[in-house]
Structure 1
């Protein structure tokens, strides 16, 4: 399974490099496709950072739970790879639907040396991230006896475009004891095995509607739905008590259907995500 995951990751990065090469030779500069590709690079860099955090957490993993965590990690990476591959195909389709005029090609030949160096730097970053994702020999020290708790909320309204299984990355972190919550990905990586309480609150108004789910290692633990009328401003809260293991992933995402509009979060009411360890 681990070898298959590494092969899939390699294919993903090779596909992304092809996408970047296409953008750099045919539509670089101020073109929208190139900007989208640049954003994807930044997302991958954030993903690499999260993987470093995951490796650190797995190094503290209890021996009896290590195999379970690695299997679930591979499943999540496969899902992530599929999402990124789909996005790359969309970018390639957009590029094919908007062929570059000959005048643009001449302009591309005059791309400054600084931009070319920037492209090389980004490709180097991708190659480094491949190495980081290679299998690592894990050590398993005894986990310290410390408290674990986190709380974060959206700093502003979040537009989900009605997407299904859209991960809600609560960006404004108020509490993060144990450093398990990662605001870039919206994922809580369990630092210590134990019994935890997780709760999330979603605020909606103006006819927006959403189903949201609490997910542990791609398994839906609990879900809530709110569909206020156009003149109603309301909130809905979900809670779960679940035993999780060190290295497990816990996140909130939109459901499989009944999603429309944006999620509200401002000074009058926050959409938030929190969790803490009972014992």
Structure 2
């Protein structure tokens, strides 16, 4: 009896393929739907959408490796990289957005007595936020930090820059991190 059932199902499916809806057979409708679905998945993959792309979220964390002076306009190098998921932190200097979206960035800097560390986070060279560490004439160190959420386009570059004529950045205590929201 089950053999007859399968033959019946095959005959019904075969017959349904000849029935038309708006000029298309059932198999033609299914074929068009499959093509549309594939097109959507390809489009999502092209723009690295989480549901059709790699699904990997971007995140990085790095710190400086020594005490350095940076003149105004120079990018600060965070050469000791802890995490670089997505490989978007380039040379420890800047983040390059792999796709458009919202990203959070945080940086923390330390400077020693009688020094200043006036810095900014920049997107493609344009200042988006600033931070100031200044110890004055005291013999103490000062730390400062800032966090910002940025809407980026694919290929945008984000880095931490010195805005002082001579910013002193202390090693081990200065870091830069970012992650996708």
TM-score (norm 1): 0.45
Aligned partner of 1:214 in structure 2 is 121
Q: Distance in 2 between matches of 1:193 and 1:178?
A: 14
1:187 touches 1:251 (CA, 8 Å); kept in 2?
yes
Q: CA deviation at 1:241?
A: 0.6
Gaps of at least 5 residues in structure 2 are 1-42
Aligned partner of 1:166 in structure 2 is 74
Structure 1 residue 263 and structure 2 residue 169: aligned? Answer: yes
Higher normalized helix content (fraction of residues): 1
Out of 99, 117, 141, which is 2:46 matched to?
141
> 1:194-244: per-residue Cα shift (whole Å, max 9, x none)?
111001111011211121000011211100111103311120001111110
1:172 touches 1:183 (CA, 8 Å); kept in 2?
no
What secondary structure does 1:156 align onto? coil
Aligned partner of 1:194 in structure 2 is 101
What secondary structure does 2:139 align onto? coil
Structure possessing the higher radius of gyration over alpha carbons? 2
Aligned partner of 1:274 in structure 2 is 177
Out of 157, 161, 166, which is 1:253 matched to?
161
Displaced runs of 4+ in structure 1, greater than 4 A? none
Aligned partner of 1:155 in structure 2 is 65
Q: Distance in 1 between matches of 2:69 and 2:169?
A: 6
Q: CA deviation at 1:259?
A: 3.6
Gaps of at least 5 residues in structure 1 are 1-62, 64-139
Bigger RCO of structures 1 and 2 (CA < 8 A, at least 6 apart): 2
Higher normalized strand content (fraction of residues): 2
TM-score (norm 2): 0.68
Structure 1 residue 181 and structure 2 residue 89: aligned? Answer: yes
What secondary structure does 2:115 align onto? coil
